[in-house]
Structure 1
């Protein structure tokens, strides 16, 4: 075990809960997460906590600059070495895209200041970006240093040869010097090298050459199949000759090159016809007027005679062995449907122009897709849109045949050079490649993915005619070609709904944001079934109840198709048992934290608060942020005037509470004439903003320990001190669940300590241990509750061969399943509906969470029932348990000490009754505190 100072120092940047949730093998092994990280995980390159800068980088490109940029800037200035490095990478990419090259240089040099960044980003992207930025900023020495470090780290990748080429260009090298770098792109991989024709004139891109060389494999079929290459062109005279020269030099012997001129007004058609006169393999097809790049592809697709068909853009140049490399796997494997190759995007002068650095300059070229001609009959043609149809077709193939149906050939080696044109659709603002994250391209692909998912069970359902009578799915008007649209799909209906706020959905459900899934698609495919709310003004669970919907029905879709016209409420209100009280009596709006599928501490604690309010005539009106447990709703209704359902999003330091939510709460204050607001958690800020606007007193029941909760601080985007200052500014008063919480708030005049109250019937429970002592962990049975430690304790006690049984009381979970088989002395007892049912199965209760509990309701319930408690010295439970009197407080994350405490209790059976009495006395004292006015 590491020493305590070392352990505490590592805990400053270590999140044990996240570590367990992230690494399945650690959960299955039952090791303490920090022990695993210190002894194994760190050396294996595992992260000890999520990297906030990566999450912010993800948000940055998806329309959340206002939140992400300030946080990244703060991490770059004051973050830990790892966070600072990764923030440097994120900001370098962003600043470069914004044209701030000196700022980008400052950021990328922060990444390279030490090794912390490479422990997280294990790809050459930061090195390649650093080379290019340093050269652009006139820092060749910095570029050289980064290049050498990259080669030392990853070896002589083709990307680093391109980096060397950039350096040589910076130093005004002659073409023959650049040839050395171009040669090494392909030569080491057994391919003919590329070089620059020094006798030709024009940009370097147009002087790319390669010897035809021998075919890669002379074992050709007796009749080599014909490959058709479609070359759509519109006003591409500047690069067409270069593209056709590269195709004419291909090593594959049986080739058909179909140039489709899409109504060009320049010399494109003349250039194509002249090339056709010189090479009989070139055939020219001409549109009388411009139709678009994908209709031009479709014209070529319809005319292609080849057994295999691919596309080549009119401004690209291909390595002479590209076609052969792509057809070989298709010939060898009849079940393979398609191949793609990799490319690099460059300028006329061979500068690297990939618009946003990912991991490499050399990456998959979706436009190079080569398919069997039969694909034309099974999946049909490219979609008739202005952009991204090649990507849609790629994923259509995968939807129909599976991800294994497409093979990438020579990954990492550029078999084509793509020329970047400033006027291309990829660089225009409305259709820029950045819109693949948020905007037209993303909207288009999301609609396409929905179509794929609906139709993939039947390949014929994914067939796209060359000239469809109606579109198969709706697309943004800006990229459509005016084709008639069919009836709106469920996806279209929800996308158009004013109650579906996609940004709100992402921020409320961060798993959706980080998974990069369309909110509408997520809601349709599973979110609605989980009663996730699509926006701040529609409750899925509440509407499901008032409309009487089954689990399979999508609530918002039902509302838009039927409920809106029928006048059903999007935000239901349910009258409670106290609904008939005099309206002149004071009412309190009580904002709940959560409403889970099963009832645990947060839900039971709120019920206790409401019962006390009702007894004192304060007439609570409960506002729940979600509604997923109808049994819980029924319990709330028994102790309230009404239950209102209003979806809410957690507070965040870089985001104001949504205006729609604040206004809705103001409406509830007016509707119920509330005199005060009670917020049952610190994570909600909209109620406090509404209370301040309405001049209503607000009180926050703080049930969290932010200074000891890494994950909570990360989710709220704040450090503990800043969060405390915000709370003190926003709320009038506080209730703390324990002394540690009150100590953190540090405002004695405004805070009252109220432990959670428990069911009085627990104090009457019989305590009568039998010969075999039963030790219980009563929890949600997820990793952060310490189930791995519980099993470790059981194994240690088993070694002593004492009559002790260990019982896991709670629901079955994936985490628990991973840890099977359970030790012989451990029983899984399942979920108990009430605390009394759970405690009836226990003689001693353990509280061994891997995070800081702010109170420990299960501890309080156990003590009320006369059960001694063994708890870790973490969070609030140690303030409840009197060590050696009503139980034992043992060092956190130390199963050996906890096992020793179990053995001590088993050996001194006569002390159990004494400890039981002491536990009840302590619990009674805490209960009286909880019940104070």
Structure 2
């Protein structure tokens, strides 16, 4: 094509627009038209405003692309529009980059036949793109018609396209044309050529080397490459330049990569094998080799690519001829195993610069150090680092336009997947990384990158590798830079951090992430980790690496769709590793309401307990994860949390908000904001729970006022709880239910000694763990035939007593997620709580399993345990507890009958059908008021 600028463009040239668009030209003080004629035209700069160009830039630079596509389609459909050809080229390229061949097909004709397009696009990209689209969407004959277009001039790219319509030896002959023309070696003939079978001719011409010729160190990072590493190594040991040191660094592969590499090590002493003990990424692997390589020139090679036998020779030759250049690169083409060539985003052609082929002098290593330890793009960063340090002319391109390497296309590679896809160089992680690196290059006085240590610039955390210290420091800086960590929120949400006086962000990075604490009022760390199936640190790293909408909700869809008009938003307050009564009761309420065909959505503060979430999912439409700080007397409303809940209410069309506890506040405010009712399910007795009052910074009366002021209706889980709430005009007593079919005893009804006594608790002092050991000690001293089993978390209070306990009648059995696992073989369920239980769920579960309840007569237990089925004694009366157990051991004939009474009593009074009806009726009535 002519280098002369078309007169049409010169006449339409807009100098004001040009200077505004390219500030470097204005800064240089060059006349805009002169610059465009001498430089801009060749550099691909635009002469004036073109709507299609602006839309294309926005298409690639934004996440929401539908509107820009539609506007480009409007231009493409207008046959009188000057921008039509450009719009067709842009749209065809866009859809092809996504593999949407049928969507790209309609724009091929407008792209190829537009008379204006060649004025702007002066390369063969449109022909290659049309060839690919036609081949994929219409077949070989249509692609052949594109090849026969007289306006497509002969080129290496066109020859490669032609080879894709041939087979066997004809394919190799076609590919060889591009090597023969400049005098390069041919590939060997093959009847079934593939990327892994191509070889060079047997008789190789060895490059002119001698004892003084420089050694080239070739670094190959390798991870699970057993199927491809032989192709890479074969192409290297058959190079015409023989003075090579080939270092294969195994990045903790789990396949047979070592075995494949070892075959080459044993037959060619130039091949060395190194191994990382843990997977650290390709650039960490490269750095390990870089530290120990001996070559005067250093280059890299991917473990799944193939190189022409003269690639190394030609790059070395350029370095030897011109001592002023510091590095060389060659060009390559991407291909699948069957030698079908492609480029994911079409530009000037399939053949383009291979940054991974960078070969540099050892002096560059001494000045600039190592590759950055990130997952992607460190090749490009090192390339630009060299240019920044030594000037743009320091890197020479060797035999441009000729593919001296074939790069394997792998759909699972980091260049082709998710957040690290190549398209993110326009909008996303790769662009963010490039921009941060460029800023470092521009401002740093020294551009040396050490192998280890903290980073010099902030990388998107998702791609940041290296030491744990470096990754955490990098994440800390990006949270600061993007304003993603809210200091005041953290101190307000976590009073223990405020009390400790530590820096909030430092704590979050060092400990808070792993503990599942939330960095701001919008994001649930553990909920994000659950929905992304990753650990907390990786989840936060991914989140911080991408554009963030503060209002974006973290959620997961459930398995239920209903046509119910009763939309219920159910808010739970805890979902930790260990589930206690409130969480299990919440799950029961969800199931009961789901059985009434209610449209249920759930809000949880976290996703720590996967089993709990998985139990909820079959019964709900959606689970949302968002921070839910506890109400404390005197704290201000956290408006961001209210807004989040309000947004969820709107999305779910909830008519009533059900809150599982008295400890939350913002869900009730959000309900009022959305003009729907809120119901508080009170399961606590603050007057008898000093720890709760301390956590809420309140007296029992202040908590009662909080309940009265902030909810439309109260469900109390017992009469004792209702008496505390003291709101007769807006309270209903609904006992907790327990699913009978899950905890019925699987044991024979006959009972024999020793008597089996079980206690399920959180194993803290307030739950009576010390009392249990007193009772067990007295029973042992009385030589009673009783065996005690304690279930629950392994707490310090428990361990302290287990260590000093001198008798063998008590066993710690660990934590059980399902109570029936512990209760199915017990005779007695023991409750020795030091604070008054608001219901006594474990006792009811024990009765349903056929256990006789024994415990302290306070709290709600006198309501749920009838004297005909159980035995309650005054609080703290260990001796009476032991006497009760003694009587049970003496009346074994009556035990089976007592246990059956207990089961029948609990089944009749606490069944999910009866309680579910009451719960559903209460919520629907409140919603309708």
Give the TM interval when normalised to the shorter protein.
0.3 to 0.5
Normalised by the size of structure 2, how large is the TM-score? Answer: 0.47
Normalised by the size of structure 1, how large is the TM-score? Answer: 0.47
Larger Rg: 2
